[in-house]
Structure 1
Amino acid sequence: MSVGAHRTAPSAAADSGRWFRRYRATGSVHRRLLVLPHAGGSASFFHAWGTAFDPGTEVLVARYPGRHDRLTDPCVDSMKELADQVTEALLPLLDVPVTLFGHSMGASLAHEVALRLRDRHGVRPAALHVSSRRPPHRLNPKRVHTEGDEALLEEVRRLGGTDEALLTDPDLREIFLPAIRADFTIVGTYGPRRAAPVDCPVYAYVGDQDPDVPVAEMSAWSDVARGAFRLDVLPGGHFYLVDRHDVLVGTVSDRLLADG
């Protein structure tokens, strides 16, 4: 089972440009980091990550449909479909080792992509990094996506990580609410399910004051790790990674260099 070197059809290559915002390495590309945002999030949330790593690391940030430069693309509201499409778009970029990092909903998505890469394409990611999300077998999905707009927006506010202007401006709300509802439909209909293991190191991160993901629950990601597992607890809530950006990026960077 390889870490990279995969050939694929031209159609997948075209999808890569649509699905990923690409921050090219400033030197020869030795590895890629794929970042998968949270529910209600977008690639712009991780813009600072694009130039935060060593010259040999190319950063890819997923651009989910239905927002920003993919505003006219139909929203995706199932984890299966989202993971299938992200995996397909990633195939042309597996000529070097790929590490997956997912925050909140993105952590579940990263795990699903890792499984698809292995099971369908014989490719093992260099590592799986998961942040602020219970592992698959410990999920307790909320049904907020079935409620009215105000209840959904209140949940987004509670968790944070979404520009308040999108939630308060009526015109912006009308534009972005379908994407937010689609994401929370994914979150509300996914899991619990089997803790399917991955054949790569697993690194977990959580804020010590996260209202939804206790440290003990985050530690259960060890059940999907056949090999190395490490849990880092940082000060903060569900979006600890905003205030602890430098610490988190530094840790991820060190592990990128060590694993691939």
Structure 2
Amino acid sequence: MAADGSGAWFPYPAQGADEGSPLLFCLHHGGGGASAFRDWQRLLGPGVEIVPVQLPGREGRLAEPAERSITALTERLTGPLLERAGERPYAFFGHSMGALLAYDLSHALGAAGRPPAHLAVSGYVPPHVRPATSVHTLSEEAFLAHVTGLEGTPAAILENPTLLELVLPVLRDDFAACETYAYVDRGPLDVPIAVFAGESDPSAPSALTARWAELTGAGASVDVFPGGHFYLQDRLPELLQALRTRLALFPVASQDGGGTP
């Protein structure tokens, strides 16, 4: 296990949150980075502190190799998360790969006596029913076609060979991390789960995403939004309002919602 300091994992200083407020650790999708959550603090207001998590191999950690194992990421992240949270209540939000990592972390932190108050998962089928896939083993052409079909990679990257050369290996490593994850039945979490999905997401059909409820003994909710795998890019205001409602950590939104998109 690498001896990771907390600074690399949490690249953004706390800004705009009340002192001592609950924390929402945000885990990005495969191929993404912590910058995916750069606007969330402003939009959600001061009642909760948004803490984007930066995985190795991207953005400010580009010089590091990406981690090809969710289990290894959990082992490396558990200590920094405990240090960052301190005694404050916290929750997870994870989209796609981030949802799987947030789930695994919830078990690990629960075993350490510091479970999250809530787990929010988005755009991912629960690991106990997720079909086996091998996207990370596809040829370069087929892999690029799959990534393009998800409609989450900006055209400026897809059309630039130099940028693609940087991004595609990280994406492949992230797919490998998810596709080699071995689900182990550790019993239900004692943590409520909020499930979010795009109604036309081919990788996370709503009939399967609803089965996250089977992995908790503390209740689950499901919200489905118009859009595909990256529905949250177009539906961010609606998603954040649903988070305010679903996560008990969040204060009831004021009339102005603490900032509107």
The TM-score with structure 2 as length reference comes to 0.88
Change (3 A) 1:258 1:82: closer
Structure 1 residue 208 corresponds to structure 2 residue 199: yes
Structure 1 residue 102 corresponds to structure 2 residue 101: no
Q: Which residue of 1 aligns with 2:255?
A: none
Q: Which residue of 2 aligns with 1:33?
A: 24
Q: Which residue of 2 aligns with 1:115?
A: 107
**Cα deviation per residue 1:152-180 (whole Å; 9 max; x = unaligned)?**
22211111222232233111122222211
Change (3 A) 1:256 1:126: same
Whole-angstrom distance in 2 between the partners of 1:230 and 1:187:
24
Q: Which residue of 1 aligns with 2:174?
A: 183
Structure 1 residue 247 corresponds to structure 2 residue 243: no
**TM-aligned CA deviation for residue 141 of structure 1:** 2.9
**TM-aligned CA deviation for residue 85 of structure 1:** 1.6
Query: How does 1:85-164 map onto structure 2 within 5 Å?
Result: 85-94=76-85, 95-119=87-111, 121-164=112-155
C-alpha contact (below 8 Å) 2:70/2:101 kept by paired residues:
yes
Secondary structure in structure 2 of the residue aligned to 1:237 = coil
C-alpha contact (below 8 Å) 1:138/1:192 kept by paired residues:
no
**TM-aligned CA deviation for residue 70 of structure 1:** 0.7
Give the helix-richer structure, 1 or 2.
1
Question: Unpaired segments of 5 or more residues in structure 1?
Answer: 1-10
Query: How does 1:163-242 map onto structure 2 within 5 Å?
Result: 163-194=154-185, 196-242=187-233
C-alpha contact (below 8 Å) 1:136/1:194 kept by paired residues:
no
Change (3 A) 1:196 1:166: farther
Secondary structure in structure 1 of the residue aligned to 2:25 = strand
Whole-angstrom distance in 2 between the partners of 1:115 and 1:192:
12
Change (3 A) 1:57 1:91: same
Equivalenced residue count is 247
Letter in 1 for 2:107: L
Whole-angstrom distance in 2 between the partners of 1:174 and 1:222:
39
Change (3 A) 1:195 1:234: farther
Q: Which residue of 1 aligns with 2:75?
A: 84
Q: Which residue of 2 aligns with 1:17?
A: 7
Question: Unpaired segments of 5 or more residues in structure 2?
Answer: 252-261
Whole-angstrom distance in 2 between the partners of 1:162 and 1:197:
34
Letter in 1 for 2:91: T
**TM-aligned CA deviation for residue 58 of structure 1:** 1.2
Percent same amino acid at aligned positions?
37
Whole-angstrom distance in 1 between the partners of 2:47 and 2:6:
20
C-alpha contact (below 8 Å) 1:29/1:96 kept by paired residues:
yes
**Cα deviation per residue 1:78-129 (whole Å; 9 max; x = unaligned)?**
111112222222111222011001111111110000000011x211201000
